[in-house]
Structure 1
């Protein structure tokens, strides 16, 4: 009996049903079943590539280098180096460099280098004359590299970039390393304040910055500059590593420049004399969420009843608040206010958290 061929749409539905990290082996099996299934399964198999082991990532990159057709299927490429899983030294970064130049349709890129020294793989000028250069336009980039002219040159060409994560402070030791970097589509930034200060105007909605300057005057100048250029679109702002003595000035700058924010954090809550903080909150009429750090209240951290009183205190001066989070080291205490007839606070405690990894600032 001659088998009845299935329609391309049905093959596509079969492949689509096997998406997810736990079904990759099934997609690989489909590729070996028949030419028709291979045609529909290969794009799904190579669409998202994520690795934690250097040797596995190296093998995948070599496959893409040797088969440019497969590289065109890649939309997401992530590598987060896990030294405990790397058994043998391999020339990974040269392979990543060559493979990226074949991923013309790449949209999301995450490269987390424990040494932070391999940002050259993204440099448009770093080539051997045999590759085609970088052709992709990213939507999302999360990069753990030292800030350098190489990284700035790469980002300058990403005109469609909407989400950017970097982890190093701005440096001009290699000349112009990103002064006035123009990313016209950028909506979310997570990185150092000094880098944010060098970004151009864009429809920024969510902003998380780590303080990396030592003088309060320089800090407030950079902060006000960032808030001002994005004041019309910002919805959530998070400031990490903020010294306690700078809190009142920082919150005043936020309230004066962006009074329509929906979320602010992460401010060390003053133990005493909070009236200036209250004054800033009064002008933030739309604020729904605030995160404060009370780790420095040691050794007498507030118990839940005291936390509830503090949450209610903040809401007295900003009645729009519905969500208050208290951080004590890696523990997050969430207090949620329910309006209506109940008018009560509900709480939840979550341990093993890391404040910079919290996503509240980008979910409003």
Structure 2
């Protein structure tokens, strides 16, 4: 007896692992169709040799490639086999990649026409100038996270994405001769990337290119300047560009190479001035939490001018001893909430390590299950 397509899909949904899905493909044609959709919906390519084999499979079986909706391409460092000298470590940093690896990736990307979520991570010392693999791709992404170098090919690809809402790029340099003209002509036009709402890049300059005229609500970046005057100028440009978003900014995470109390207070004051009295910010930070009680009260008085604030990051590396025990974090979070009652999550940062406390039913609880790096996306 034949079942409906929905019934086959429902049964496949209860299958626990990929081996069982492969077995189910051999039961009947109907089960094969449903099981293949589950098998190829989300793919991860990690090992270069296995990735090439998978690419060949998708290329040789044209009906499978359109089933891919989410694809992660990840090149990670190999685990060291034994203790080696520093000289040997240096020579082993550049991995020996198969010569046809990126050609294989390019060929499969041209055939996976329905991808909506694409991640390309390069963390093994390979050359990141591989955005050429995106040429002649026809898919329209919703989310794109990549470590590719910023060049003409990457800019051209981004300019073609009309549905992209979530973008992470590791590199940006609009002054590169290869990209300056196309960046100015393409990505600065607001009709390109019209649905972009979440933007993450370690260079604040990208905000000036991708935020104005677009509905960007969530931004994560990092100050690149270290000299005070240059950092202050960078801060001013960043804030002005954020104000040019077509929607109110709700989440702002701007890290710093060297956290200092005075600049942190200045940045907070600038944000309050720029977005008050109708601030929609629900997440903001990181800020240096002052040790001195009077300075801390002044800090809280600025935060309270963000009436919708739900979460903030507080840098406490200057505290001695650091307030990292749960009672200490609970005390500081309760103190903050006296002035900012809307806050329900506080992330304490000490030497780049985050600890999260949340208010649940009026009580503060340590929450080790929270991925601190992603909280800014969720508010």
By the TM > 0.5 criterion, same fold? yes
Q: Matched residue of 2:354: which SS?
A: strand
What's the CA shift string for 1:97-146, capped at 9, x where partnerless?
A: 1110111111000000123524323443xxxxxxxx21110000000112
> In 2, Cα distance between the equivalents of 1:213 and 1:123?
32
- Paired residues of 1:122 and 1:151 also in contact (CA < 8 A): no
Q: Does 1:217 align with 2:258?
A: no
Q: Does 1:178 align with 2:179?
A: no
- Paired residues of 1:210 and 1:241 also in contact (CA < 8 A): yes
- Which of residues 113, 129, 132 in structure 2 aligns to 1:121? 132
- Paired residues of 1:93 and 1:118 also in contact (CA < 8 A): no
1:8 CA drift (Å): 3.7
- Which of residues 267, 272, 280 in structure 2 aligns to 1:255? 272
The alpha-carbon distance between structure 1 residues 184 and 8, as it changes in their structure 2 partners (threshold 3 A), is closer
State the match for 1:61 in structure 2.
55
State the match for 2:288 in structure 1.
268
1:304 CA drift (Å): 4.3
Structure 2 portions without partners, runs of 5+: 81-94
- Which of residues 365, 368, 375 in structure 2 aligns to 1:347? 365
- Paired residues of 1:294 and 1:328 also in contact (CA < 8 A): yes
Q: Does 1:103 align with 2:112?
A: yes
> In 1, Cα distance between the equivalents of 2:359 and 2:116?
39
State the match for 1:281 in structure 2.
303
Q: Does 1:16 align with 2:10?
A: no
The alpha-carbon distance between structure 1 residues 26 and 46, as it changes in their structure 2 partners (threshold 3 A), is same
Q: Matched residue of 1:41: which SS?
A: helix
Structure 1 portions without partners, runs of 5+: 125-132
> In 1, Cα distance between the equivalents of 2:221 and 2:117?
21
Give the structure-2-normalised TM-score: 0.81
- Paired residues of 1:231 and 1:257 also in contact (CA < 8 A): no
- Paired residues of 1:189 and 1:207 also in contact (CA < 8 A): yes
- Which of residues 206, 210, 215 in structure 2 aligns to 1:195? 206
1:350 CA drift (Å): 3.5
> In 2, Cα distance between the equivalents of 1:85 and 1:5?
49
State the match for 1:74 in structure 2.
68
The alpha-carbon distance between structure 1 residues 119 and 280, as it changes in their structure 2 partners (threshold 3 A), is farther
1:222 CA drift (Å): 2.7
The alpha-carbon distance between structure 1 residues 270 and 122, as it changes in their structure 2 partners (threshold 3 A), is farther
The alpha-carbon distance between structure 1 residues 104 and 348, as it changes in their structure 2 partners (threshold 3 A), is same
1:349 CA drift (Å): 6.0
The alpha-carbon distance between structure 1 residues 40 and 248, as it changes in their structure 2 partners (threshold 3 A), is same
Counting only pairs closer than 5 Å after superposition, residues 279-318 of structure 1 correspond to structure 2 as 279-297=301-319, 299-302=320-323, 303-318=325-340
Give the structure-1-normalised TM-score: 0.84
Q: Does 1:158 align with 2:161?
A: yes
Moved over 6 A (4+): 85-88
The alpha-carbon distance between structure 1 residues 98 and 172, as it changes in their structure 2 partners (threshold 3 A), is farther
Q: Matched residue of 1:229: which SS?
A: coil
State the match for 1:128 in structure 2.
none
Q: Which moved more, 1:317-326 or 1:61-70?
A: 317-326
1:276 CA drift (Å): 4.6
> In 2, Cα distance between the equivalents of 1:270 and 1:147?
38
> In 1, Cα distance between the equivalents of 2:297 and 2:173?
35
> In 1, Cα distance between the equivalents of 2:359 and 2:305?
20
How many residues end up aligned between the 2 structures? Answer: 342
